[in-house]
Chains A and B, each alone.
Chain A
Amino acid sequence: MREVAIVAFAQSDHLRTTDELSEVDMVMPVLHQVLAQTGLKTSDIGFTCSGSSDYLAGRAFSFTMTLDGVGAWPPISESHVEMDGAWAMYEAWVKLLTGEVDTALVYSYGKSSPGSVRDVLTRQLDPYYVAPLWPDSVALAALQAQALIDAGETDEPALAGIAARSRESASSNPHAQVKGSVPQGDYEVQPLRKGDCPPVGDGAVAVILAAGDKARELCERPAWIRGMDHRIEAHSLGVRDLTDSPSTRLAAERAGAFERPVDTAELHAPFTSQEVVLRKALKLGDGVAVNPSGGALAANPVMAAGLLRIGEAAARIHRGESDRALAHATSGPCLQQNLVAVLEGDAR
């Protein structure tokens, strides 16, 4: 299989509101940064793929507007997924594996501040049996958290510990939205307190992929994608075992995550309770650095937070802080769909 690596990663600061910025205003500086890291111009890029959802800001076709920030005219080879950017990266990775192109630009963004993201996300649910009840994203995560507590897999103090550790790690992340010592606060939906929930905010992320020698040319220590896979659970929440994530485990297995231990894991767990599920599904030991960036509890721009995990994991390899890292992205309620990527740096 063709060798493909992440060779550059950039992100915006993640902010509660960005009224003065349109989507393209928010995305464009990140695109410029990621291109500058490699010295590539838009015209050098073989394929561009983005991920976003217009429902977040209520702005129709915002993804075509952000393409202005790429410089997409005359037309470039380009695609878009109405998903987290991690899935856009999957598409780009497959495109590179075909040998058709040698480089790809992948970006995604989320601008949740104009709307109410808890309500917006109800629109992705089963339209016949579930969406008419408007169960918001926190409520569904809380049902999963209670199932974990009932099963003896965690308790409220343990969840608070995950929240505290994540925001403490985020203290060294200049882009994070919530960092340092943050009170757990009142119940949003019991058993989840405010501190167990991700911040709502706006942000953007971009990575560049390159194949083989091109990757070595563009990056001192490329983060080689050793495997990547994504899997999904049954549609109905009532059919699933909410205390486990077989789709994550299967994706990890297919991505080769269990062949050798990883030293770092960037997990897309917007709620503290979901980290408990993922650690179990991924069989992560105590020696693994989990979410050194602070994870989605520190910044959760919807549609970007998954690609951020992959980018953060890759950046640690670029910096020589990791040799083998796992990155995970999720989509949908209660870890409905999960993507796992395994990244490695060359021996030092």
Chain B
Amino acid sequence: MPEVLKAPLVVEFPFTRSLGPVQSAFLTGLRERTVLGVKTTDGKVMVPPVEYDPVTADELRDLVEVEPTGTVTTWAWNPEPRRGQPLDAPFAWVLVKLDGADTGLLHALDAPGPDAVTTGMRVRVRWAAERTGAITDIACFEPYEGAAAEAEPAAHDGQFDDAVSGIVAEARLDYVYSPGRAQTAYINALADRRTVGERCPSCRKVYVPPRGACPTCGVATTDRVEVGPAGTVTTFCIVNVKAKNLDIELPYVYAHIALDGADLALHGRIAGIPYDQVRMGLRVEPVWTEGGRYPDHYRPTGEPDADYDTYKELV
């Protein structure tokens, strides 16, 4: 079996998320170097604060200001920081109970090594130089010698000028994608200007492009079958919306095409004919461009149109 195809695949998306009133106050507070907590129904102070009580589900709105200093409740030494994590050099992940809070905040602790970190150690917030209203406005924690403050946290109205109402959460995941056996064979054959489907050994249907299995019979499709090159337009649409990074003149026609010998229509662009003359039953053939690994589009063959009965099962 030839080597399966593989290619890097990056999935990236900037999620824009709106904030509830408590989240907005907390993240705006971080921008202003103020750490807010919220009082739960039973009087505990949660940091980071949430909109609803985790036990009773009551709406929580009573904000208090806690200290930027606190105590490590558990930690884990990270010898090889990964992309996106708070620090580039090895650091400790920590849960920190800030002075005045009853719950732990997850963040990073900048320390010289694991021997310098213990549960119970005192730490304080190191603020990021540029703050925007995000959890990363806390750059990290750093060791701190002072004792815990004794005073009860004071109430805070949560009001700041120019409060943030949302965050943009960048998400990026990297993959090395492989389409698997069936689609590798299909893509390799296309680069050789041949369209190769796979036949179901049970119902004899030929699937193009093949996905490796017959969805009717639930068995592997293994027999390779060359189809086309010509085929029949089974249905089509006229595209009037310009797609990003697509240099094709509007309007153009996108069609389902049943290649001769195939039992499933694939889709492709139709050209070489005015858009308003494309019709069901039109006979078309693929057009490859120089060096292209797949057909650029399909164009009319000039044959008479196919009879509806010959392709009605594929519409």
Question: Which A residues are within 8 Å of any B CB, using their own CB?
Answer: 19-25, 28, 31-32, 42, 55, 57-59, 65, 67-74, 114-116, 118-120, 122-123, 127-136, 139-140, 142-147, 150, 187, 189-192, 234-239, 242
Contact = CB atoms under 8 A, between A and B. Distances in A.
B175 A57 contact: yes
Interface residues on B, range: 35 or more
B93 interface: yes
Given A119-B83, A132-B136, 10 more contacts: A19-B180, A55-B173, A128-B19, A130-B106, A134-B83, A143-B74, A147-B73, A189-B76, A235-B50, A238-B47
Nearest to B105: A238
A128 B281 CA distance: 54
Interface string B198-224: 000000000000011111111110000
Contact of B169 (A25, A132, A147): A132
A19 B9 CA distance: 14
Interface in B175-200: 175-183
Interface in B85-139: 85-86, 93-95, 97, 103-108, 114, 119, 134-136
Given A132-B135, A139-B78, A234-B54, A150 B119 contact: yes
Nearest to A145: B76
A67 B215 CA distance: 7
A22 B177 CA distance: 10
Contact of B218 (A28, A58, A118, A132): A28
A146 B183 contact: no
Nearest to A118: B82
26 contacts: A19-B180, A25-B180, A25-B212, A28-B219, A68-B215, A70-B218, A71-B214, A116-B173, A119-B83, A119-B173, A127-B169, A128-B19, A130-B106, A131-B169, A135-B93, A135-B106, A139-B93, A142-B76, A143-B76, A143-B95, A146-B74, A146-B76, A190-B77, A236-B54, A237-B104, A238-B73
B135 A150 contact: no
A115 B182 contact: no
Contacts of B82: 118-119, 134, 136
Interface of B: 1, 4, 6, 9, 11, 15, 17, 19, 23, 27, 46-48, 50, 54-55, 73-79, 82-86, 93-95, 97, 103-108, 114, 119, 134-136, 167, 169, 171, 173-183, 211-220
Given A132-B135, A242-B74, A20 B218 contact: no
A78 B83 CA distance: 38
Interface residue SS majority, chain B: mixed
A133 B11 contact: no
A25 B178 CA distance: 13
A42 to B, nearest CB: 5
A140 B95 CA distance: 10
B218 A71 contact: yes
Contacts of A119: 82-84, 173-174
Contacts of B47: 238
A187 B97 CA distance: 26
Contact of B54 (A59, A114, A239): A239
B85 A73 contact: no
Contacts of A150: 74, 119
Contact of B182 (A19, A22, A57, A132): A22
A164 B103 CA distance: 35
A238 B179 CA distance: 41
